[in-house]
Amino acid sequence: MDAVRKLLEETNPEALHREKQQKRVGLPELPNSIKGEVTLRFAPNPNGPLSLGHSRGVVINSELAKINGGRVVLRFDDTDTKVKPPEPTAYSQIEEEYEWISGKKADVVIRASDRMPIYLEYAEKMIYEGFGYTCRCTAQNFKKLRDNMEECPCRENDVSLNLELFESMKSGGIPEGGAVIRVKTSLDLPNPALRDWPALRIQHTPHPMVGEKYKVWPLLDFQSAIEDRLQGVTHIVRGKDLMDSTRKQTILYGHFGWNYPETLYWGRVKLLEFGGFSTSGMRMEISEGKYSGWDDPRLPTISAIRKRGFSSQAIREFWLELGLTQKDISIPMQSIEAKNSSTIDSFTERRSFVRSPDEVIIEIPDTIGDYVAEVSIPKHPDGTIPGMREWGAVSEKIFVEKDDIGIVDIRLKGFADVKILDGVAVVISNERTDRRAIAHWLPVEISREAVLEIPQADGIQKVSGVIEDYELVEGMIVQLERVGFARIKKIPNNGPIMMSWLHG
């Protein structure tokens, strides 16, 4: 060891003074970027509102824009009218959800369906220049040829015929599946997915936003490539399942004589409790009545988790900590919940919620010396929220959880040490006399019936009890002492207060 040390002193003295390593925080440097001249984009399909999975894109892109002095283009990739047709209400909802997640409006908002003339123009230019052609092969036939690195017969058609066919496609003269516009690539590319890839196809299904105006629609790889160029996108951050998109688009950029943006990737994320994030899948299950709507608490959508009470800061910190690795990962929901706990805890008031409440009679023995019946408990134990919950003077009836009564010697939080026997709690002292367990409880006067709804995979579990009826407001998030975080969902004039479970 000493020999090594000596050697190091001679050859590499700095190595001896290395500091204990620290964890790098925040996103890594954006390659090839100039501060203030960075443009990123977030391009969801508006076939439904945003899911938790989408929020990664919002967070990463908006954060990169923030630290690089750049901007984010929110682009609706709505060029599929058939397989994943757009949902008209999703556009504005996504804009709003983007703002909620990132804390800032998108700098630019565009819809691909509004910009069709531009894409068609570029398609025509591509054909005219000879690096695009109209292919009338069936998908199966083309695949067969492509797999053998063989040209399809349409490839040799001259430009005028290609243009003529393109016109015919646009005017509706060719049925769906009857033709496609392809980008010429080298056919001996090792990756078969890249060979003469399709850029535009025919769709006769009307588009929910622009109707039947267009019969030819660009595919993602073409539309996205053109639009990124037009918007001056400098950096693309996308899932690594889209690596082939990068390669296809790079070929197209080459044809046009453009330089492709820097591209970064993230791996696939699965939430253990939910699996993947399929918008179309959720859309189907909602319409089947399996879920009450996009904001059903069992769904991994932004609207659902937001309604449940997750903070956008927690979502941001969560994704930022995962960073930009290309690993495919599975995350337990618990880790987002832990993040949320730490972000909301300091500004979340405490309340007592007694489950399975049993009535207990308070008895104050004559032998007790100083006794105070008044109870007031801090709204937050650390004082981050000033003020007390003033319960007033405790009369004789209180509620205690069934399980706590069995403990016998217990402390009623914020009030007194008691001994509970046969439904009677004999007060020992207001002050703590020993290290007995502390239980939450409620005087009858300030308690009100309440039901806590806990979403489960197979339905909603309902836990009933009594809630501390002190300054409760519909919509507020509280931490139920010894239970967990919950949202006050509904305070009806009659009947129990409804609460929805957030997490522990």
Q: Which is nearer to RNA, 98 or 217 (CB)?
A: 217
Q: How far is the CB of 386 from RNA (least distance, A)?
A: 15
CB contact at 8 A, 349 and 385: yes
Q: Which is nearer to RNA, 28 or 495 (CB)?
A: 28
Q: How far is the CB of 193 from RNA (least distance, A)?
A: 4
CB contact at 8 A, 168 and 136: no
Residue 427, beta-bridge partner list: 418
Cβ-count burial 468-498 (b if 16+ within 10 Å, e if not): bbbebeeeebbbbbbbbbbbbbebeeeebbb
Q: Where are the alpha helices (DSSP H) in 112-219?
A: 116-129, 139-147, 159-170
What are residue 343's phi and psi, to 5 degrees? Answer: -85, -30
Q: Which is nearer to RNA, 171 or 330 (CB)?
A: 330
- DSSP states of 428-495 as a string? EESS--S---EE-EEEGGGEEEEEEEEEETTEEEEEEEEEE-SS--TT-EEEETTTEEEEEEE--SSS
CB contact at 8 A, 486 and 480: yes
Element counts in the chain: helices (H) and strands (E): 13, 27
Q: Which is nearer to RNA, 292 or 330 (CB)?
A: 330
Q: Which of 445, 453, 443 is nearest to 488 (CA)?
A: 453
Q: How far is the CB of 493 from RNA (least distance, A)?
A: 29
Q: How far is the CB of 83 from RNA (least distance, A)?
A: 4
Q: How far is the CB of 318 from RNA (least distance, A)?
A: 9
Q: Which of 460, 461, 465 is nearest to 482 (CA)?
A: 465
- DSSP states of 343-367 as a string? HHGGG-EEE-EEESEEEEEEE--TT
What are residue 368's phi and psi, to 5 degrees? Answer: -70, 140
Q: Which is nearer to RNA, 397 or 482 (CB)?
A: 482
Q: How far is the CB of 253 from RNA (least distance, A)?
A: 18
Q: How far is the CB of 342 from RNA (least distance, A)?
A: 5
Q: How far is the CB of 202 from RNA (least distance, A)?
A: 6
Q: Which is nearer to RNA, 332 or 495 (CB)?
A: 332
Q: Which is nearer to RNA, 101 or 169 (CB)?
A: 169
Q: Which of 485, 489, 478 is nearest to 501 (CA)?
A: 485
Q: How far is the CB of 291 from RNA (least distance, A)?
A: 21
Q: Which of 369, 57, 373 is nearest to 238 (CA)?
A: 57
Q: Which is nearer to RNA, 43 or 491 (CB)?
A: 43
Q: Which is nearer to RNA, 21 or 287 (CB)?
A: 21
Residues, the chain, total? Answer: 504
Residue 419, beta-bridge partner list: 409, 426
Pairing of strands 424-429, 357-363: parallel
Cβ-count burial 364-394 (b if 16+ within 10 Å, e if not): eeeeeeeeebebebbbbeeeeeeeebebeeb
Q: Which is nearer to RNA, 392 or 495 (CB)?
A: 392
Q: How far is the CB of 296 from RNA (least distance, A)?
A: 20
